[in-house]
Amino acid sequence: MDGRDWGLFLLPYEQTVEELKVKFKTMRAELKKREEYAPIEFVTGRVKRISSILEKAKRLNVPMDQLETGIEDIAGIRIMCQFVEDIRRVAEYIRKRKDLKLLFEKDYITNYKESGYRSFHMIVEYPVQTALGQKHVLAEIQIRTLAMNFWATIEHSLSYKYRESLPEEMRKRLQKAAEAAAVLDNEMSSIREEILEAQKKFEDDSNITSQALTLIHQLYFYHLVNEAMEFQERFNRIWVSQGADRNTEEMKELLEDVKQMIASYRKEDSNDDQV
């Protein structure tokens, strides 16, 4: 049996997990401040248990003196997102980072595993500063939605319980459950799209309304009092008739008409100045 000091061996991995957790939690906080919506929901991390490292080394035929290069996920970070689209965004942020080196990616979302497992994996090389100098450590970053995480967490505990003997019937039901989680993710994405579109339309409508009011008000400055009053009445009529199903077309026409009036008045005004 390998007589290494495991505590010492795992130290840089523990440091890597702690540092990366802080960095991605900070990224979440920053994005939330900047955009009022963070593509990262929460971040977790762990160092692989010694028994799992040994089992994996055996399964993958990794010699004991090559664990550092042969096993990529001794340090593991998990980033959970609300929506599938967020996963691509987070991956893009990671690709651009200067404090780690991306080695390769595994897209288990497009190419999901036979078990039904879905996630986006990035294997990175992270430089940790130890008392003996800099050390490059491999780490695996798993990015997934809350639904993917829900499925993977439960499937993982069942797989551990049953190991190789997971009954065929159970395997099939888990595959179906993974499909259901993917359907849920797609449905949530499309609901989100519709909400974003509705928000945008609402913002567009209120911009048109406030622009129209501002320009009507400007007419008074040009002493176009009768015109201002007419436009104001027209505005009121449209506003009252709009109800729940807003007719922005009429408001847009009004806005264009006021703009034209102001433009032609300005032209006349500058002609007068030249006389």
Do you know the residue count of the chain?
275
Please say if 249 is a catalytic residue.
no
75 strand-pairing partners? 47, 139
* Site for ligand 0O2 contains 52 (CB under 6 A): yes
Cα distances (angstroms) measured from residue 220 to each of 18, 236, 264: 64, 17, 15
* Site for ligand 0O2 contains 106 (CB under 6 A): yes
Binders of ligand 0O2: how many residues, by CB under 6 A?
Answer: 18
Taking the C-alpha atoms of residue 269 and residue 221, their distance in angstroms, rounded to an integer, is 13
136 SS3 class = strand
Taking the C-alpha atoms of residue 142 and residue 113, their distance in angstroms, rounded to an integer, is 14
Nearer to ligand 0O2 (CB atom), residue 72 or residue 227 = 72
Nearer to ligand 0O2 (CB atom), residue 178 or residue 255 = 178
Nearer to ligand 0O2 (CB atom), residue 56 or residue 252 = 56
Applying CB under 6 A, among 121, 144, 234, 246 the residue interacting with ligand 0O2 is 121
Contact map string, positions 9 to 48, toward ligand 0O2, x by CB under 6 A: ------------x---x----------------x-xx--x
Marked catalytic residue, from 36, 41, 125, 140: 140
CA neighbor of 10 nearest in space, from 45, 70, 53:
53
* Site for ligand 0O2 contains 56 (CB under 6 A): yes
- 247, 241 in Cβ contact below 8 A? yes
CA neighbor of 37 nearest in space, from 203, 185, 192:
192
Cα distances (angstroms) measured from residue 269 to each of 110, 228, 262, 266, 275: 64, 17, 10, 5, 10
Residues in 66-95 that interact with ligand 0O2 by CB under 6 A: 73, 76
Q: What are the residues binding ligand 0O2 (CB under 6 A)? A: 21, 25, 42, 44-45, 48, 52, 56, 73, 76, 106, 113, 115, 117, 121, 152, 155-156
- Residues serving a catalytic function are 140
